[in-house]
Structure 1
Amino acid sequence: MDTNATRDLFERYHACWEARDPARIAELHTPDSVFHLHAGQPPARGREAIRAAAADSFALVPDLAFDLLALRVGDDFWTARMQMTGTSATGNPVAIDLADFVLVRDGAVLEKHSYVDGLAMQAAMAAA
């Protein structure tokens, strides 16, 4: 892949997250892909597990949105810095810093590692 193709994949992938569509998110991963939200849970491996992990994220924050702050794209990766916002299922406001490191293979996401502000996440998910 080249940088333009990787940028296009990022745009399509980000649109799936903005649309809160777990099935479309999973389709953009390789069959052997890994999605790891580094917040204490094990990585999701394979499309079905990735679909379920994305669905779980939307259940926790039904109106989840992303403000893209910075993006760097290469031939086979992207890194992004974002802020996730919304209202948690417990009724708390969400404003969580997020950094993604994504590896790409054959036009699809091979690995997605998401690093979040753990304290902000705990506060947002706490009982109201």
Structure 2
Amino acid sequence: MTAATHEVFARYHACWEARDPDRIASLHTPDSVFHLHSGEDPVRGRAAIREAVAGMFALVPDLEFTQVSLRTGDDFWVARFTLGGTSASGGVIAVDLADFVLVEDGAVKEKHSYVDGEAMRAALAPAVPDPAPTH
């Protein structure tokens, strides 16, 4: 069963790398929960998950994932990533992420993502222009 879970991870991760909210949402169960644990409320259901993911990609259009580690079990995976990219406001993203995902019948039942919320908020903050030189 671990091989099957690893295969679900591979398909799911490919959708994230492709930045495709529709495909990501389609790999969740209809009643799935997605929770970004950085001050965000959990969202439930494919439509809400698609909207949340699309919002993330709008904030960081070139979001990249560098996999650090992966552990799979019969019905879960735990993965660590480094997130990279540039926020829509110009901030550089360099944040650690840990995912805990429960799998049911070949789809994502729950996805809990843990990220350094303070570092992410700082990177997403509007860029502050340099003050005009004074003479």
Fold shared, TM-score > 0.5 on shorter chain = yes
CA distance in 2, matches of 1:36, 1:25: 14
Amino acid aligned to 1:86: G
Give the match's secondary structure for 1:83: strand
After superposition, give the CA deviation of every residue in 1:50-89 in whole Å (9 maximum; x if it has no partner): 0001100000000001000000000100000001100001
Amino acid in structure 2 at the alignment position of 1:55: A
d(CA) in 1 for partners of 2:119 and 2:47?
Answer: 28
Task: Quote the RMSD (CA, aligned, Å).
Answer: 0.5
Instruction: Out of 11-20 and 38-47, give the one that drifted further.
Output: 38-47
Question: In the alignment, which residue of structure 2 is the partner of 1:8?
Answer: 7
Counterpart in 1 of 2:36?
37
Which amino acid is 1:125 matched to?
L
SS at structure 1 position matched to 2:120? helix
Give the % identical residues.
69
What is the TM-score when the length of structure 2 is the normalising length?
0.93
- Long gaps (5+) in structure 1: none
Aligned length: 127
- Cα offsets for 1:16-68 (capped at 9, x unmatched): 00000000000000000000001111111000000001100000000001000
Q: Which runs of 5+ in 2 are unaligned?
A: 128-135
Aligned to 1:65: 64
Answer with 1 or 2: which has the greater Rg.
Answer: 2
Q: TM-score, normalised by structure 1?
A: 0.98
